[in-house]
């Protein structure tokens, strides 16, 4: 059965964006960007909300941009064909290899887990991930922790009064001081 993973860059104080909505501090260096490229190779379908979908639209046509370096072109070549499911109440259409969710989160995830296919079901965006976490459907939390305190914003982890026990399964420290932590939900 396919795993549901939630992976994003996060500040040391636990936010994916700062109080001003900015996330420029997550711009990866070459080593961290290579890590993200390797991670996206393991994804079979990416679930996201409207905001992340709109942010990532750039990569649908970025492969044609001659100013991109080889790694950025590689990312674009992996991202563009990746199936995406967008959860939105305001969008009526999506572009590229994306579709609007036709049912609720639990139903979509259940259907995707049952489908033949390889790769993880990746959750993108803290708001959507909080909803999936509330349903108890996240199998792994993958945090790429940046050495910065932003003082507020949108938290990586949902603020719920529910305990979730985790098992550390992988760590990696990058030369820039960025730390990758992969935790599996203990069931």
Question: Chunked in runs of 10, what are the mean pLDDT values of the chain (187 residues)?
Answer: 94 94 91 96 96 91 87 94 95 94 94 90 93 94 97 88 91 98 96
Total domain count for the chain?
Answer: 1
We report the CATH number of the domain holding residue 174 as 3.40.430.10
**Residue 115: what pLDDT?**
87
Question: Is there a contact between 22 and 139 (Cβ–Cβ < 8 Å)?
Answer: no
**Residue 1: what pLDDT?**
81
Distance CA 130, CA 141 (A): 12
**Residue 158: what pLDDT?**
76
Which pair of structure tokens corresponds to residue 53? 């979908």
Show the domain range for 28.
4-185
């Amino acid at each position: 059965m396919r795993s549901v993973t939630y992976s994003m860059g996060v500040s040391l104080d636990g936010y994916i964006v700062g109080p001003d909505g900015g996330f420029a501090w997550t711009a990866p260096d070459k080593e961290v960007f290579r890590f993200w490229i390797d991670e996206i190779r393991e994804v079979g379908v990416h679930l996201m909300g409207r905001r992340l979908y709109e942010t990532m639209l750039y990569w649908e046509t970025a492969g044609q941009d001659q100013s991109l370096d080889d790694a950025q072109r590689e990312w674009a070549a992996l991202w563009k064909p990746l199936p995406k499911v967008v959860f939105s109440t305001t969008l009526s259409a999506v572009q590229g290899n994306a579709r609007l969710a036709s049912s609720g989160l639990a139903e979509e995830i259940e259907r995707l887990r049952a489908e033949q296919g390889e790769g993880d079901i990746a959750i993108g965006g803290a708001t959507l991930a909080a909803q999936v976490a509330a349903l108890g459907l996240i199998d792994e939390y993958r945090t790429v922790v940046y050495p910065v305190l932003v003082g507020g914003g949108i938290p990586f982890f949902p603020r719920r009064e529910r305990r979730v026990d985790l098992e550390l399964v992988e760590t990696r420290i990058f030369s820039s001081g960025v730390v990758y932590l992969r935790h599996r939900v203990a069931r």
